[in-house]
Structure 1
């Protein structure tokens, strides 16, 4: 890989939580595969153009494992998406086995069954926000703390089988693991998470339920290869995908809509008819985090005229790819009516997000209900004043709104 002096330093500074650094447009045009220094200080390749990112997402020459893990570049100091994971020799087979195990839990049928519970949760959270709004002298409430943050963890905890009494602890562990500003604490949180999941699994072994942890326990009984480390990796991935990313899509989606009053008014005029297209555009244009998906080259390969060597770290910038002017007309414009609906917000290929139906169901219920119940919703603080979360998924720490 190129010398450190030739590498750009990640993350690139963003103008605000909604917009990407202008440098991404330059890189897409002039250097779609470019050497960078990751936040942890190690070298990596950054891929920014839609066509290359889409192709590499399904390229079996890349993986999450590394041929020599002890020599692998580390990307962040967080405890998820930080470095290599899994077995280099068996990664593809292990991934297929895990998808077979989890697919029924995230099926469209299961999501339809859960949708009533999700609707009840959203209504309850909005009821609480309305009560806080009516009691507050200035009428300002925090949509992040009152809806965007608690809803996804309540849903993923139910799917996993986490008791309600443990959910606050579970939520805290999630936040700590995803932080790259807390140093060793992120990895301490992952160790605590592993111990918690082991205790929970033991309880499910004695009294199984209709949840994912019970499914995992049953799978472990039938397959000796499914060990403790694999269970923890799987559960961390589910927590990260089912909680962190959805928290930020709710927050970013709200900001995208409320900073574009015409789009918010269109949604409030026809919530049922417009919500599906709206959430797909939120998935495309909402840009969580400042990095991308981490992969390692399992062999030498050429990408857009650049040679990536076996073992090199590759960061696939979903955010940059989803704003590629070559893939979307007026790519920076929030337009639910656009013809180019396909996006990479849920990945692509064999690693397409298994929780996509869950995220879509949550987002559909959240935004349709907000549009129906709070059509006068508006931001109570300027976009540039919002504090950004120091986690790998980014987003905001608060979302002050009123109506």
Structure 2
């Protein structure tokens, strides 16, 4: 009963912060690319703390070859959320609401259940966002057989680890708990960095003030050891916090220069693609999109989208491009990366497969993209949810 009461309170608190449509979104500011739907050129415009300027055309991408869906890896899944590839090419998939951990054996990718994370509290059937979320494969998996999971419990969000042996998932061990949770904005993406440390995204649970509070792990990107301790070199002593001022980061991806990128839900005007840099403040809730206040103290997004066109989730990097799955926008975005700049967003498959949740790069250099039409907010189609194989 106490948990349900807390959830009702969270819903009421989130009523003014949940992402909603904007019939007349403001134009984007200088040095921030604005993505236009239906494969239109990207845009940017002059600086303004409250973006109001007209956009100007961005240089087009040199790569105009559209991606193609070349197959379906799996069907009849239920809100698949996280995907991680094992060294032998097998894939581990989490389902948010069933709490199932699935193993897809290469090359046939037959789906088999290897375990359930019993501590997870799924809320998707009520329209919530908590449950069994991200998964990351240990960089030393061939030796330790460890998987890491982001889990919503009745009291918090936490990160746990478990061994996968002989197609069976062992008991979980908590490495980090006490991450605030809510009915919405639970973050949940996990990724090991090139430095060997584990990165995690969290949401501000519908309470915007938590994003700026460095005394809480909500609304942050975290960096930790495999035991959940603050990683050496973190900007705030004794803390796992790497960056702060986030609303709800749903995607993390490292590029080939070891830079970290993140996709983030906006509120009414802008969803964001951010370049994540140590110790930086990304502005929520003071600004949505760009905000050159306090002498540049806030870090501006690289690309912004109207919330109707995106609601970004999973993020992956391949051959000079970031690939972003879009929930409300029901499309896959490709964004060019030139050095430390992200430019020229182009969208594909608009409305063809419904909500898209997660995108990952396969060992062969293709993409897997999951649909999320059975997450309580979509319109399920025959065979949903599925994993699509895309040749980029």
Larger Rg: 1
Question: Structures share a fold, TM > 0.5?
Answer: no
TM-score by length of 1: 0.30
Q: RCO (CA 8 Å, sep 6+): is it higher in 1 or 2?
A: 1
TM-score by length of 2: 0.30
Task: Give the strand-richer structure, 1 or 2.
Answer: 2
Task: Give the helix-richer structure, 1 or 2.
Answer: 1
